[in-house]
A and B are shown apart, each in its own frame.
Chain A
Amino acid sequence: MAKRRIFEDVRIADFTWLGVGPIAAKFMANLGATVVHVESLTRPDLTRVSYPYKDLQAGINRSAFFTLYNDSKYGITLNLKMPQAQEVARKLVYDWANVVTDAHLPGHMEQWGLDYETLSKEKPDLIHVATALQGKSGKYSGMPGHGMAGVSLAGFTEITGWPDREPSIPWGAYSDFVTFPHMVTALIAALIHRRKTGKGQYIEVSQQESSLQFLAPVLMDYMINGRIMTRAGNRSPHAAPHATYHCAGEGEKWCAIAVETDEEWAGFCKVVGEPEWTGDPKFATLEGRKANEDELDELVEKWTIGQTPHDVMTRLQQAGVPAGVAQSGEDLVADPQLNHRGTHTILEHPEIGPHIYEPPPYRFSKTPHELTMPAPCMGQHNEYILKEVLGMSDDEVAELLIAGALE
């Protein structure tokens, strides 16, 4: 008998788009859940119509932005503005799903008769997880948004970058990536509760509120001590040297070094060959190094600039000193540690061809994850889901097609 997969009894009707919801459902799929991702040609997921397109050629099935977040799912298209499509979506929930995920603005799911109140009447043990940038209630919840704005709203931007410059925006849609694991956690907690009690429930994940977990001490520092944290470059009160240093090589070559303890400082001095300045008493303690950090950083960089970031990292790590190359996309693909873990998983996509997907960042000793299929092309599984899963006839499907409900 095949090994039981963790969530093989979980069936998710996935009405999400962009980052948080799709990734959360994908993680569940990688652990055995069956997921039907519901989307529409009339409102394509923005990740389908954004770079990176394979070979720079735009196309609705050509962006690896979408594929990374949607592998191992079935994909169907429904124009939910049409009553016939809403009917199919409800059938998918009533006849098949036991979890619903959605990332629509408040009001939409209600309008389509796909809200928790409606669905749970027919299916009381349903778990419905909804996510939105500012939550599903409250004056600002109707505001459209995404994680590229959420990162600033949630306060990360203001504390990123250099104190003498305007803020830098943390890369990408950062708040999405704080939020999606929270969504996964809440969903699994609800599944555990349902198994025990038979009860479903409604869960709402506000991206802003999830994100603030990652700044909680900073918020408390303001509320208790009145301190408004601002950006500090790469400086840390607990370590010096503590920066990314320029290294030898073409283009952008940098290595991060973080010396936290006296032992690590001694190790660092040995690796750089104990030139005279490393013996200077003003650098002997963390306090001293912090007080003379500009000078220290210059001296360290004089050493790093003569060698590749990889050499700097390896030599320091071998001496027990924390150091790491600031890795680019190219570096990450070649990273031996990530490759040892099988981080980059190649799947063959009908339009993009073989390309990289990624599993959840945890490994189970007994129930390994599986990336079962590449992300679906638009509407790829319409026939299969409507006919094989929902038992609709050829005529019924043709009718939907002609009416435009499958767009």
Chain B
Amino acid sequence: MADLEKGEGALAGFRILDLTDHKGLYCAKVLADLGADVIKIEPPGGDPSRNTGPFYKDTPDPEKSLFWWAYNTSKRGITLDIETAEGKDIFLRLVKTADAVVESFSPRYMDGLGLGYSELSRINPGIIVTSITPFGQTGPRSDWKAPDLVGWALGGQAFVTGDEDRPPCRISFPQAYLHAGNQAASGTLAALYHREETGEGQHVDVSMQESVVWTLLSVIQFWDVMGFNMFRGGSKRRMGGPVARVLYPCKDGHMSFLIGGGQLASISMPALVRWMAEENMLGAFEDRKDWTADDWTTKVDYWSTTQEEIDGQEESLIRFFANKTKEELYEQALRRRIILYPASTVKDLAENAQLKEREFYTQVEHPELGGTVTYAGAPYKMRETPWRISRRPPLIGEHNEEIYRSELGFSDEELRRFADAGVI
């Protein structure tokens, strides 16, 4: 009854087969935490991305990769070599009762094995196959390779990220395939919605490059309607007008703040200037201490402000923030309604008061370690169908018995033979 009261996940009753490597793990994790029965299918020996660090207590071990853990919650796990004839047969049996297959092999690899969408749909016409690849299934570059940095570059993010006097740069923790997986989850569910109405399955083709392009704000539009190529500005905003900081140093790190005028800055400027006045630190804002939000909206056009003016204002802000900590500034920003936010470190995030109050972090039992591990919690709160990590990530082949024997009805002897032949 307790479980019933808590409510089932929105995707309870759907089964997803997850054949992905690091390029697609996040997609199936999203579906699993929403309640789908996700079976992670790994090659015998385990998914190579289990060897990606960091590791639990810094012990390199395919059962202890924090990367792998983070993106495989709520899944069950089996090992299966889908390149062997028997492996294929077993996979096809699983497809019969599945709603979707998510894969991240090179285009046409599955077709080559006789496991492409057209084959799978013959066995199960409602099946949805979601393919996550660097560039999509077809096109002049569909066979090219693109690990994170290359995807970041071809997707347009590198060009606009990093210091202006250094090479284009990425976020130090790989992001490109998380975007692809995130989008793939939406695409898979959209196809599932359609299938529920019509019975018709289909192939969903997700491009990592396009997923990165969707993170570009209006880089393409600046070129398209203004003929202007956006350029990287490091800690500053470099959008064709004057160059202004977005990051300001403070006592123990950095704060994010947008100076200037227009509607965006006018939300914050009057309150910030009042605060500076209280501390007799108005500096360059002396003549604006009585300005209202309206004044800031109408009297200042960021693009026609001179660089000297911006530089002077920045200097005053740097002086003002210099003796204050991130926490003090965040707290005052809340009290005074200023869009002023810390550039959080991982430690700040672990201790963030808002995340604590909302009970974001979640404890997951790891019986094999004799304790619990803290995981990132829900990306969304769904009142009727709660998001939930229903189980810790699977050990290698942890559910072989459960699925191969109890569900598919293979005998001990057959399982032993499969294991010896390297099929499972």
* Complex interface: chain A residues within 8 A of B148 (CB): 236, 258
Name, among A155, A190, A191, the residue most crowded by chain B CB atoms within 10 Å (CB to CB): A155
- A192-B144 contact given A46-B263, A153-B341, A326-B158, CB 8 Å threshold: no
Q: How far is the CA of A190 from the CA of B26 in the complex (A)?
A: 19
Please determine whether A208 and B337 come into contact, CB atoms closer than 8 angstroms. Answer: no
B321 to chain A, nearest CB (A): 13
Q: A64-B225, A217-B69 are in contact. List 14 more A-B contacts (CB 8 A).
A: A9-B197, A50-B264, A152-B341, A157-B254, A161-B169, A162-B162, A162-B163, A186-B379, A209-B377, A217-B71, A219-B376, A317-B145, A337-B141, A365-B205
Please determine whether B147 and A239 come into contact, CB atoms closer than 8 angstroms. Answer: yes
Q: How far is the CA of A233 from the CA of B173 in the complex (A)?
A: 10
Please determine whether B186 and A52 come into contact, CB atoms closer than 8 angstroms. Answer: no
- A49-B254 contact given A68-B221, A138-B358, A255-B153, CB 8 Å threshold: no
A210 within 8 A of B: yes
B408 within 8 A of A: no
B314 within 8 A of A: no
Please determine whether A246 and B167 come into contact, CB atoms closer than 8 angstroms. Answer: yes
* Complex interface: chain A residues within 8 A of B267 (CB): 144
A173 within 8 A of B: yes
- Pick from A189, A213, A230, A358: contact of B213, CB below 8 A: A358
Please determine whether A168 and B349 come into contact, CB atoms closer than 8 angstroms. Answer: no
B198 to chain A, nearest CB (A): 6
Please determine whether B150 and A323 come into contact, CB atoms closer than 8 angstroms. Answer: yes
- A168-B183 contact given A258-B150, A322-B147, A366-B200, CB 8 Å threshold: no
B296 to chain A, nearest CB (A): 13
Please determine whether A169 and B213 come into contact, CB atoms closer than 8 angstroms. Answer: no
- A335-B170 contact given A199-B384, A362-B204, CB 8 Å threshold: no
Contact residue range for chain B?
35 or more
- Pick from B153, B190, B234, B254: contact of A152, CB below 8 A: B254
A34 within 8 A of B: no
Please determine whether B169 and A168 come into contact, CB atoms closer than 8 angstroms. Answer: yes
Q: How far is the CA of A365 from the CA of B162 in the complex (A)?
A: 38
Chain B 141-190 residues near chain A, CB threshold 8 A:
141-142, 144-163, 166-175, 178-180, 182-187, 189-190
Question: Whose C-beta in chain B lies nearest to the C-beta of A242?
Answer: B149
Interface membership of chain B positions 1-35, coded 1 if the CB is closer than 8 angstroms to chain A and 0 otherwise: 00000000011000000000000001000100010
- Pick from B155, B222, B256: contact of A52, CB below 8 A: B222
- A139-B357 contact given A341-B210, A356-B220, CB 8 Å threshold: yes
Interface membership of chain A positions 334-368, coded 1 if the CB is closer than 8 angstroms to chain B and 0 otherwise: 01111011011000000010011010111111110
B239 within 8 A of A: yes
- A171-B160 contact given A138-B357, A343-B213, CB 8 Å threshold: yes
Name, among B214, B334, B373, the residue most crowded by chain A CB atoms within 10 Å (CB to CB): B214
B334 to chain A, nearest CB (A): 5
- Some 11 contacts from A to B, beta carbons below 8 A apart, are A158-B344, A168-B169, A169-B246, A171-B219, A188-B190, A215-B349, A219-B346, A257-B150, A358-B220, A364-B202, A365-B117
- A189-B379 contact given A157-B343, A233-B169, CB 8 Å threshold: no
A237 within 8 A of B: yes
Interface membership of chain A positions 226-269, coded 1 if the CB is closer than 8 angstroms to chain B and 0 otherwise: 01111111111111001111100000101111101000000000
Name, among A27, A139, A330, the residue most crowded by chain B CB atoms within 10 Å (CB to CB): A330
Please determine whether A338 and B158 come into contact, CB atoms closer than 8 angstroms. Answer: no
User: Could you tell me the dominant secondary structure of chain A's interface residues?
Assistant: mixed
Question: Whose C-beta in chain B lies nearest to the C-beta of A192?
Answer: B193
A220 to chain B, nearest CB (A): 4
Please determine whether B161 and A170 come into contact, CB atoms closer than 8 angstroms. Answer: yes
B354 within 8 A of A: yes
B400 within 8 A of A: no
* Complex interface: chain B residues within 8 A of A214 (CB): 173, 175, 178
Please determine whether A185 and B217 come into contact, CB atoms closer than 8 angstroms. Answer: no
* Complex interface: chain B residues within 8 A of A363 (CB): 136, 204-205
Q: How far is the CA of A203 from the CA of B379 in the complex (A)?
A: 11
Q: How far is the CA of A286 from the CA of B231 in the complex (A)?
A: 32
* Complex interface: chain B residues within 8 A of A366 (CB): 194, 200, 202
